[in-house]
Amino acid sequence: MPYGYWGKMLRINLTTGNIKEETFEESFMRKYFGGKGFVSYYLLKEVDAETDPLGPENKLIFATGVMTGVPVSGMCRYAVGGKSPLTGGYGQSEAGGWWGPELKMAGYDGIIIEGKAEKPVYIYIKNEEVQIKDATHLWGKNTDEAQRIIREENGDKRIRVAQIGPAGERQINYACIVNELKHANGRTGMGAVMGSKNLKAIAVRGTKKLEFKDKQKITEIAKWFSGYLMENPLTYGLYNWGTAGGVMGLSKGGILPTRNFKEGSFEGAEKIWGKTMAETILKKREGCYACAIRCKRVVEVKNDKYTVDPEFGGPEYETVAAFGSLCGIDDLEMISKANELCNKYTLDTISTGMVIAFAMECFEEGILTEEDTGGLKLNFGNAEAALKLVEMIAKKEGIGEILALGSQRAAEKIGKGAEKFALTVKNQELPMHEPRGKVGVGIGYAVSDTGADHMQAGHDSLFTQEGEVLDSIKPLGILKPIDPFDLTEKKVREFMYLQFLWSFYNMAGICDFSPVPRGSLPLDKLVEVMRAATGWNVSLWEMLKAGERGLNMSRLFNLRCGIDSKDDRLPERLYQPLEGGSLKGVKIDKDDFNKAIKKYYAMMGWDEETGIPRKEKLEELDIKF
């Protein structure tokens, strides 16, 4: 019998209404580990180059990992994937919360959604009872109301709901999927794919017992780790101040994206960082399933200007920076309101903030005028205008209709030189990390399978000196500190090894805030937990090889979609000097960067020019598609 998973996927065709179960062997799980591994497997097997991301032929895959639901901090995540309407290639995004473990407890490792329902529907899974239910009455409703109705009409308050709001229904290219109103599969527009299938929600209630090989060992490690993590600044800092606790350090270091990445330090940083949040609007700290780190914030605002409902959680670092420093806004209450609206409508906060910052720069440069914006004065720092834009984007009203396309496509429509202010890779907007001060993050942005993504590998700033953090990754063969500006083979090697690890985390359903190097669970303990959960004699080597396999598979899917080495590039702005902040004048050398990308291809076993995986590399990883 399998431990930690069921060996069972649900396949639901919304065109025909057909629901069936598919089983898989242990060797399949041990090769792909779930999550990203499953998404890339099913996309390669079932989705072709011509598939319209918003057409019925596209698949939408919800996949837990082998570790999702193991009661240890950080083992809660699941991936959603499909062909992306934003990038036109490999789409995938992970979320924490409770939905992934709930699906596991219902008896399934994942769901493959096919086709398109004739009218709006939602899927209700109660253990192995699976129904497609009418959602006509839910269509057009915000997430809070839809969740309340789904729970009421099925008579169970503990139903976990992953769903889309109006932005997903309108198929906005960067619409996300939200579970529990506050945990988002944010990136690559998976909410739009869900909307294109007329699928409002997947509501799950699971009460089955998931078996583990050595429950006692898991309990022992979970207990030890819940104490140990409070001794490590990287994890207890997350508890105390949340992910936004990093804002001040980043601003002082000159790497806080400010005013559309023109600058790297923000004069209003102190007003929006995690400490200020804790001292003002923070109502409570929350965690995901079985997690003692509790990095999530719940905020509440009630005043004449704004009300922010704590049901929608609170803004993460990415959201604080995207609506804050990036737009020149130092109002934490407004940022929290923007976060609430994005969770209500299901808009990705990173892309939404970036699109607004793009529009602000276009406005300041005279490319957009008040005539275009419907009278909005879109200068950097205008909090009211930014909030209004969130509404206009979600409703595709006025300028919002163009901005809903994403900044790259919007820039092409606007013209007049707007393209240089659209900061994207493979059409996806940059996240809130400044590659000019940590160039390994730039390599990650460029080569990422999903377009610009900050979760490809650990960031350079963690590994610049001797100490516990560097020690934690020495088992990977990264033995010496590396300068954050270094673009030599040392950086490429470090990035690649860490990318294998991160890729594996995204396969197995593990949050990177739990294990090292971003968290504090040592790698040998992680291996122990995996062995205790699955009963396999799994090794770190095997985990890294699986991570590498996942990266090669998503690469192959992108190549199938025509996304190749020409797309592994950074926006031009990052090759220009920072205009302000403590790293003013610093830029990335384009030649050095391009050489690093070629070196990465070669180290990966890919053709140095085309970036296509070599036949022998695919044979080594046993990839046959």
What residues line the site for another protein (CB under 8 A)?
233-234, 236-237, 240-241, 243, 245-246, 248-250, 252-254, 275, 317, 433, 441, 454-455, 458-459, 461-462, 464-470, 512-513, 517-518, 582
Residues whose CB falls within 8 Å of the CB of residue 474, separated by 6 or more in sequence, listed in order: none
The amino acid occupying position 417 is G
- To another protein, the closest distance from the beta carbon of 248 in angstroms equals 6
Cβ closest to another protein, residue 142 vs residue 232: 232
- Write b or e for each residue in 434-471: b if 16 or more Cβ atoms lie within 10 A of its Cβ, otherwise e: bbbbbbbbbbbbbbbbbbbbbbbbbbbbbbbeeeebbe
Distance from C-alpha of 168 to C-alpha of 566, rounded to nearest angstrom: 30
Cβ closest to another protein, residue 52 vs residue 468: 468
What token pair was written down for 412? 């092409």
- To another protein, the closest distance from the beta carbon of 106 in angstroms equals 29
- To another protein, the closest distance from the beta carbon of 243 in angstroms equals 6
Residue labelled with tokens 């729970």: 151
- To another protein, the closest distance from the beta carbon of 473 in angstroms equals 11
Cβ closest to another protein, residue 43 vs residue 462: 462
Distance from CA of residue 439 to its chain's centroid?
A: 20
- To another protein, the closest distance from the beta carbon of 274 in angstroms equals 9
Cβ closest to another protein, residue 110 vs residue 440: 440
- To another protein, the closest distance from the beta carbon of 485 in angstroms equals 12
Cβ closest to another protein, residue 238 vs residue 338: 238
- Write b or e for each residue in 315-351: b if 16 or more Cβ atoms lie within 10 A of its Cβ, otherwise e: bbbbbbbbbbbbbbbbbbbbbbbbbbbbbbbbbbbbb
Distance from C-alpha of 119 to C-alpha of 137, rounded to nearest angstrom: 11
Distance from CA of residue 219 to its chain's centroid?
A: 29
Residues whose CB falls within 8 Å of the CB of residue 40, separated by 6 or more in sequence, listed in order: 32, 81, 90, 92, 550, 553, 554, 557
Cβ closest to another protein, residue 320 vs residue 392: 320
- To another protein, the closest distance from the beta carbon of 275 in angstroms equals 6
Cβ closest to another protein, residue 225 vs residue 421: 225
- To another protein, the closest distance from the beta carbon of 94 in angstroms equals 12
SS3 of the chain: helix, strand, coil, percent, to 5: 45, 15, 40
Cβ closest to another protein, residue 169 vs residue 512: 512
What token pair was written down for 79? 């991936």
- To another protein, the closest distance from the beta carbon of 6 in angstroms equals 30
Cβ closest to another protein, residue 404 vs residue 423: 423
